């Protein structure tokens, strides 16, 4: 699986505004995706909740891909995670690691 570490800065004291903006942008972009694509993202989130322990699992709809972010991830089951990531690699899913968490990018069909 293609994994890359990114160095993003947090929004600091404006984090509430950044989260609100991201939520509204995601809501608007959700209309660009079919129900099958939304279901695939939801199934991926359910699979990742089995192998990761994290604070939050966010699905965000962007223009070219769906991002699935895990806040403060801790791996619970490494073998199953390796199997899931090998399946996701066949689907073209990309993994991005930041200091804020792990993000899986699901490409638009």
Q: Work out the pLDDT band at 109, boundaries 50, 70, 90.
A: confident
Question: What was the pLDDT predicted at 71?
Answer: 93
Question: Quick check: 101 pLDDT over 80?
Answer: yes
Question: What was the pLDDT predicted at 64?
Answer: 94
Show the domain range for 29: 3-107
Domain count within the chain = 1
pLDDT tens string 11-46: 667 778 777 888 899 999 999 999 999 999 999 999
Strands (E), the chain: 3-5, 52-53, 56-61, 65-71, 74-75, 94-98, 101-107
Question: What was the pLDDT predicted at 3?
Answer: 65
Half-sphere exposure for 59 (CA within 13 Å, toward CB): 18
pLDDT tens string 37-76: 999 999 999 999 999 999 999 999 999 999 999 999 999 9
């Amino acid at each position: 699986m293609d994994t890359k570490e990114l160095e993003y800065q947090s929004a600091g004291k404006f984090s509430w505004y950044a989260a609100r903006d991201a939520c509204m942008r995601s809501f608007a972009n959700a209309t660009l995706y079919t129900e099958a694509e939304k279901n695939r993202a939801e199934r991926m989130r359910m699979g990742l909740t089995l192998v990761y322990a994290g604070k939050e699992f966010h699905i965000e709809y962007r223009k070219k891909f769906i991002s699935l972010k895990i806040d403060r991830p801790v791996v619970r089951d490494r073998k199953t995670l390796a199997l899931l990531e090998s399946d996701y690699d066949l689907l073209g899913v990309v993994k991005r690691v930041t200091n804020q968490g792990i993000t899986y990018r699901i490409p638009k069909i």
